[in-house]
Amino acid sequence: MCMRFLLLFSRQGKLRLQKWFTPISEREKKKIIRDMTSMVLARQPRSCNFLHWKDLKIIYKRYASLYFCLAIENQENELLALEVIHRYVELLDKYFGNVCELDIIFNFEKAYFILDEFLMGGEIQETSKQMVNRSIEASDMLQETMEEYMSKPAF
Amino acid sequence: LSCCWLIHRHSDKPAKMPAVSKGDGMRGLAVFISDIRNCKSKEAEIKRINKELANIRSKFKGDKALDGYSKKKYVCKLLFIFLLGHDIDFGHMEAVNLLSSNKYTEKQIGYLFISVLVNSNSELIRLINNAIKNDLSSRNPTFMCLALHCIANVGSREMAEAFASEIPRILVAGDTMDSVKQSAALCLLRLYKTSPDLVLMGEWTSRVVHLLNDQHMGVVTAAISLITCLSQKNPDEFKTCVSLAVSRLSRIVSSASTDLQDYTYYFVPAPWLSCKLLRLLQCYPPPEDGAVKGRLVECLETILNKAQEPPKSKKVQHSNAKNAILFEAISLIIHYDSEPNLLVRACNQLGQFLQHRETNLRYLALESMCTLASSEFSHEAVKTHIETVINALKTERDVSVRQRAADLLYAMCDRSNAKQIVAEMLSYLETADYSIREEMVLKVAILAEKYAVDYSWYVDTILNLIRIAGDYVSEEVWYRVIQIVINRDDVQGYAAKTVFEALQAPACHENMVKVGGYILGEFGNLIAGDPRSSPLVQFNLLHSKFHLCSVPTRALLLSAYIKFINLFPETKATIQEVLRCDSQIRNSDVELQQRAVEYLKLSSIASTDVLATVLEEMPPFPERESSILAKLKKKKGPGAVSVTELEDSKREGGELNGGGDRGPDTASTPSPSADLLGIRSAAPVGAAPASAGSLLVDVFSEAGDISSLTNPLIPLPCRFVCKNNGVLFENQLLQIGIKSEYRQNLGRMYLFYGNKTSVQFASFTTTVSCPGELQSHILSMHLLEPLVEGGAQIQQVLNIECLTDFSDAPLLNIKFRYGGALQNLTLKLPVTINKFFQPTEMTSSDFFQRWKQLSQPQQEAQKIFKANHSMDTEVLKAKLLGLGTALLDNVDPNPENYVCAGVIQTKGQQVGCLLRLEPNAQAQMYRLTLRCSKDSVSRRLCELLAEQF
């Protein structure tokens, strides 16, 4: 499943997460983000979830206020990509418990960590929800033993 | 709104408060994020950020050593600021320091920062590499995974140099934890893609392939991505993966939905892994081993059967996962292109989806059918859905679905349905979305040209095109109609009459005026006999549009006027009057003024003879590639072009070789469209600049993706013995399609080179050589443009003359540079002796009389062999016809047998050949006998054919 990038943005076009699986310059990233948000946000409701863009396929899906937009290489499987998005949403949901956009805003680093357990280098690393959650929980365990952190000042 | 749950639940519990911070809770960070969110304006946000940056900078510079937690918090804030879209020019060092912390959370944030922000700043990379090295050797699986992720995320050359030899070891080591294996496999894949020369699998190959057997499904899922990529590059070294993949697939496909526990996704067992297995198999031809192939066909049938079963869940995730596997299976079936049953079943399944209530499925079915339309086995089956597709074009709400419907109509078009499809596309154009009009116009123009049997229909179609969508008719389209009218004298009168009528519309498009001006200027005389279109009427009609037109059109009209003076001396006075008036002769536009002055002078001083010579009818245009086809290629993305192009060629192959309607003489007469259709012509096409794809050039650098090929000789796919058209070669960069025609002892081969990447190929050169005795061919190559732009396709023509019979094939060598690496490959060209066959019809008695005449033992060659392909009558007939001989009915006393006759034409001699093929369905065997007037031909044909059945 060769993926090139994953973007999460709100209905207002605010970027919430960006993950690039191949090296791209910052300038190009900004251009792609602009293209994606304008293209996806312009789509009518109940349209199909796939678009052709340059030599890539863009798979997008809206979950409540957030759009998930995944670019895959041309020969890749669109339906499976749609389920990659859904599985990621499920993983976020499982971790945060009824995940919402604010969770992702305030815990963006966690959203990245969860994504890293699921995908790597644009390929799927682990499809089992249990497995991914187990590693995320394991790393949270490592964190929560650091009680000292809680007593630190805010600034 | 941003606290709406992403996943909708039927519950009346109120939306929860978001977990403002989970886990370790960096309160400072949460406060900062809240502040930013509360900013009322962009300015306020920037102000708040600058304040924060100043604060962090002072902390980092301060005398007091920061503790790990603070460092982590500030690095995380910097990351947040960066992700908001602001530049960050410090903090990298602090992030690198975090890498060597022994606290997991600090390390994790450090790695995240590096992954997001570091490109190849070499100073830092060395420090980062040190930290990674420590973590990789720590034997702590969580640390190892973090390090591997970082390598995959950054994926720079320096990292590949440092770790490419270490990671395979981690991947195959017996004591590596499963999760580390998964990361190692994908990390290695990433490095292989950026620096293939540094990743040497050699000794690890077989152990990596055997990861397909791993007990842990996650390991298999990760490893198979690596194996697929490596197989694409080194198919031979990895070919043992085929049987392993088939058995793994078979186990998944036959398992109950609960067997695979958490790898079952909404009742579908391991959808991701299944698709990846099917994708891996697409790197290879159908398995040679009968048992493996049987098992695979069984899997594919099971997948097709499951599509008919009632769903196990109403959730869309269930049907998506199930159909993802189905579409991947269909891709594999199309890739094999050898199982007529499966192809037709696939087509029927897609036919059902065409009417599905889910837009996604309709879209995918249309898209997938486009490739099916190119298979000779399923082309007809696809055509049966024409009404549904037309309906989709008319009624789909979503423009991208309509676009796919238009693509499919284009792909399924052939001579039998061209009129209907062109008519539908034309009527769709009247309401089509602006975004796709230009492409639609090109497609209509191409189809009309390609399938025109009657040129008046062609002219009507193009004029309709201009009438309906004049603004979108590019120059290429109207140039082309003029080229064709000039080259075909049977349509000139009709064209003149039709443009004359079209120009009478009160408002007509400027493109119509251009075509009208040009055609009446050339052929107005053909309709001048009718008083309703007398020379003066024609002139007045054209001139009534003059003032509404742009400068280039006016210039064209002035040339039409001077042509009128030659065609119709009676219009001379009127036209000179027009030329002489101030608005022409003193026109502020230099070009118009010059034309007016020169034409006026020419008409007044030149004698009629001189005029007639100067203003003679245009000579026929040299045939070259249809300019509109070149335009379409330029317009579309890489995949789409080569696919449609080759679809066409493949389909024609189907008609010529597979269809039952092929008369004995069609092989020697070029099809009627040959001279009309530019793509058969000889001039090379300039590579078009890839305007659409160019952005991606540096964006998704695939530079290291492809290792330099060490010039392996690519053998000839045996299907080309009985086929003249198709895809000869394809890898990730390049697709080579061929189309060939043979007539007597001459052949012409069109090679289409498609650049599948978005990057330009530099120094693209091709050479053809005839090794050894093969001087029997005279080959002349037309030179190519040296660049193959990203996404572009260029063609090359090869002329072949057969001097005497031969057995070896000529070699085509291709060299070019892609992303700096020299690519070098050599292919055998599918030129075999049977291409020079002329079919010979004969009666049963003639046949056996000649058979007896050729009774010397060396004149006969015989082989008994096991059937390798389907023994289906239609398939066999198609192959025998494709061979080029006449397939004789009612000759052999046994109706199960096939007999064929033909003459091979070489420059020096003709070789008569008789063929008899006796199938034994029970034993799955054949006996093949050839008798030819030249013994070397018998032997060669026998060798060639024994591989075909």
Predicted pLDDT at B719: 74
pLDDT at B783 > cutoff 80: no
Instruction: For the beta carbon of residue B660, count every other beta carbon within 10 angstroms.
Output: 9
In this structure, of B15-24, B187-196, B473-482, the range with the lowest mean pLDDT score is: B15-24
CA B563 to CA B602: how far, in whole Å? 11
A64 part of contact set with chain B, CB < 8 Å:
yes
Cβ of B155 and A47 within 8 Å? no
Is residue A38 within 8 angstroms of chain B, CB to CB?
A: no
Q: What is the pLDDT of residue B557?
A: 94
**Per-residue confidence at B17, pLDDT binned at 50, 70, 90?**
low
* DSSP-assigned beta bridge partners for residue A119: A124
Chain B from 268 to 287: CB within 8 A of any A CB:
270-273, 275-276, 279
CA distances to B203, B474, B943 from B456, rounded to whole Å, are 67, 21, 48
Beta strands in A64-154 (DSSP E): 66-73, 119-120, 123-124
pLDDT of residue A46: 84
Option in B25, B30, B265 nearest A83 (CB): B265
Q: A151 touching B, CB under 8 A?
A: no
State percent of chain B over pLDDT 90: 41
What is the mean predicted confidence (pLDDT) over B336-341?
Answer: 90
CA B163 to CA B573: how far, in whole Å? 87
Cβ pair B791:A10 closer than 8 A:
no
Cα(B57)–Cα(B52) distance, rounded to whole angstroms?
Answer: 8
Note the pLDDT tens digit of each residue in B374-385.
888 888 999 999
Q: What is the pLDDT of residue B691?
A: 33
pLDDT the model gives residue B829:
84
| pLDDT value, residue B25 | 61
Lowest pLDDT segment from A80-89, A128-137, B457-466: A128-137
Range with the poorest average pLDDT among B58-67, B362-371, B671-680:
B671-680
DSSP line for B909-929 = -EEEEEEEEEEETTTTEEEEE
Instruction: Give bridge partners of residue B743 from the DSSP assignment.
Output: B746
- Residue pair B118/B124 in contact by the 8 Å Cβ criterion: yes
Residues of A in contact with B25 (CB under 8 A): 149-150
Q: Which of B31, B320, B758 sits opposite A79 (nearest CB)?
A: B320
Task: Write the pLDDT tens digit of every residue in A98-120.
Answer: 888 999 999 999 999 999 999 99
- For the ranges B446-455, B642-651, B719-728, the lowest mean pLDDT is seen at B642-651
Dihedral angle over CA of B336, B225, B327, B723, nearest 10 = -20
In 3D space, the residue among A88, A121, B216 whose CA is nearest the CA of residue A80 turns out to be A88
Tokens matching residue B584: 């022409």
| Cβ–Cβ below 8 Å for A79 and B360 | yes
Question: How many C-beta atoms surround the C-beta of residue B850 within 10 A?
Answer: 16
The pair phi, psi for residue B132, each rounded to 5°, is -60, -45
Mean pLDDT of B626-638: 62
Determine the Cα–Cα distance for residues B908 and B231; give it in Å rounded to an integer. Answer: 46
pLDDT band at B659 (very low <50, low <70, confident <90, very high): very low
CB distance B816 to B792 below 8 Å: no
User: Is residue B853 left, alpha or beta, with left meaning phi > 0 and alpha meaning psi from -120 to 50?
Assistant: alpha
**Of all helices (H) and strands (E), which one includes residue A4?**
strand A3-10
A 77-96 → B contacts, CB under 8 A? 77-80, 82-83, 86-87, 89-90, 92-93, 95-96
The region, left, alpha or beta by phi > 0 then psi within -120 to 50, assigned to residue B139 is: left
B471 C-beta neighbours (distance < 10 Å), count: 13
On chain A, the residues whose CB falls within 8 A of the CB of B273 are 127
The tokens for B480 are: 């082309």
DSSP state of B687: P
Q: Which of B44-48, B228-232, B513-517, B806-810 has the lowest mean pLDDT?
A: B806-810
- Residues of A within 8 A of B112 (CB-CB) are 109, 112-113
Q: What band does B776 get if pLDDT is binned at 50, 70 and 90?
A: low
List all residues 6 or more positions away from B928 whose beta carbon is below 8 Å from its beta carbon.
B862, B863, B864, B865, B915, B916, B917, B918, B942, B945, B946, B949
Return the ∠ at Cα B696 (arms to B279 and B163), rounded to 5°: 65
Query: A127–B273: do the CB atoms touch at under 8 Å?
Result: yes
| B18 touches A at CB < 8 Å | yes
Q: What share of chain A is helix, strand, coil (3-state, %, to 5)?
A: 45, 25, 30
The tens digit of pLDDT for each residue in B60-97 reads 988 777 888 888 999 999 999 998 888 888 898 899 99
| DSSP class of A128 | -
The pair phi, psi for residue B525, each rounded to 5°, is -60, -25
Annotate B782-803 with b (16+ C-beta within 10 A) or e (fewer).
eebeebbbbbbbbbbbbebbbe
Judged by CB atoms closer than 8 Å, whether chains meet at A120 and B186 is answered as: yes
Of A119, A72, A114, A126, the closest CA to residue B279 belongs to A72
Residues of A in contact with B215 (CB under 8 A): none
- Nearest CB neighbour to A48, from listed B400, B637, B699: B400
- At residue B349, the pLDDT reads 94
| pLDDT > 70? residue B636 | no
Is A133 an interface residue toward B (CB < 8 Å)? no
Average pLDDT over residues A27-34: 92
B701 touches chain A (CB under 8 A): yes
**Tens digits of per-residue pLDDT, B869-892?**
778 888 888 888 888 888 888 888
Taking the Cβ of residue B37 and every Cβ of chain A, the question of whether any pair is shorter than 8 Å is answered with yes
B362 touches chain A (CB under 8 A): yes
Structure tokens at A93: 């949901």
Whether residue B195 contacts residue B165, with contact meaning beta carbons closer than 8 Å, is answered with no
3-state helix, strand, coil in chain B (%, to 5): 55, 10, 30
Residue with tokens 């005795």: B773
Alpha carbons within 13 A on the beta-carbon side of A13:
12
Tell me, what's the pLDDT at B460? 93
C-alpha span between B165 and B163 (Å, rounded): 5
Q: Does B54 touch chain A (CB under 8 A)?
A: no
CA pair distance B937, B914, nearest whole angstrom: 11
Alpha carbons B270 and B277: distance in angstroms, whole number: 11
Chain segment A40-84, per-residue pLDDT in tens: 999 988 899 999 898 899 999 999 989 999 999 988 999 999 999
What pLDDT is recorded for position A78? 96
Annotated binding site of B: 27-28, 59, 69, 73-77
What ipTM does the predicted assembly reach?
0.92
* Residue at B874: amino acid letter: E
Looking at the complex, report in whole angstroms how far the Cα of residue A40 sits from the nearest Cα belonging to chain B.
Answer: 12
Q: Which of B179, B176, B246, B163 is nearest to B207 (CA)?
A: B176
Asked whether residue A144 carries a pLDDT value surpassing 70, the answer given is: no
Q: How far is A57 from chain B (nearest CA, A)?
A: 11
| Residue B717 DSSP symbol | P
Residue that has been written with the tokens 């709406």 in this structure: B4
B211 in contact with chain A, both atoms CB, cutoff 8 A: no
Predicted pLDDT of residue B202: 79
Q: Is B388 left (phi over 0), alpha (psi -120 to 50) or beta?
A: alpha
Q: Is B400 on the interface with A (CB under 8 A)?
A: yes
Rounded-to-integer distance, Cα B728 and Cα B649, Å: 12
- Residue B781 is predicted with a pLDDT of 52
Report the sign of the C-alpha dihedral through residues B248, B253, B256, B260, in that order.
Answer: positive
Cα B124 to Cα B114: distance, rounded to the nearest angstrom = 10
Output phi, psi for B735, to 5 deg.
-125, 130
Nearest CA in chain A to B260: A128
Residue A131 contacts B, CB cutoff 8 Å: yes
How far is A66 from A108, CA to CA, in rounded Å? 14
- What pLDDT score was predicted for residue B773? 62
Q: Quick one: pLDDT band at residue B787, thresholds 50, 70, 90? A: low
Q: Specify whether the CB–CB gap between B378 and B346 falls below 8 A.
A: yes
Cα–Cα distances (Å) from B324 to B223, B286, B316, B328, in that order, read 20, 21, 12, 6
Rounded distance between C-alpha atoms, residue B334 and residue B327, angstroms: 10
For residue B639, pLDDT beyond 60:
no
Q: What is the largest CA-CA distance in chain A?
A: 52
Give the pLDDT band (50/70/90) at residue B784: low
All residues of chain B having their beta carbon less than 8 Å from the beta carbon of residue A149 are: 24-26, 69, 105
Please tell me the predicted confidence (pLDDT) of residue B201.
80
Q: Chain A residue with minimal CA distance to B82?
A: A26
Q: How many CA atoms lie within 13 A of B636 on its CB side?
A: 24
Nearest to A10 among B2, B79, B155 (CB): B2
**Residue pLDDT, tens place only, B275-296:** 999 999 999 999 999 999 999 9
> Is residue A128 less than 8 Å (CB to CB) from chain B?
yes
Question: Is it the case that residue B209 has pLDDT exceeding 80?
Answer: yes
**Nearest neighbour of B693 by CB, restricted to A54, A129, A149:** A54
Measured distance CA(B633)–CA(B792) in Å, rounded: 6
Instruction: Give the gap in angstroms from C-alpha B264 to the nearest C-alpha of chain A.
Output: 8
Whether B10 has its CB under 8 Å from any CB of chain A: the answer is no
| CA atoms of B735 and B727, how far apart (whole Å) | 7
Query: Whole-angstrom Cα distance, residue B322 to residue B716?
Result: 37
Mean per-residue pLDDT of chain B: 82
Contact status, residue A113 vs residue A133, Cβ threshold 8 Å: no
CA distance A21 to B188: 14
DSSP summary character for residue B546: H
Q: Is A134 on the interface with B (CB under 8 A)?
A: no
Q: Alpha-carbon distance B316 to B321, whole Å?
A: 8
Residue B664 above 60 pLDDT? no
pLDDT band at B365 (very low <50, low <70, confident <90, very high): very high
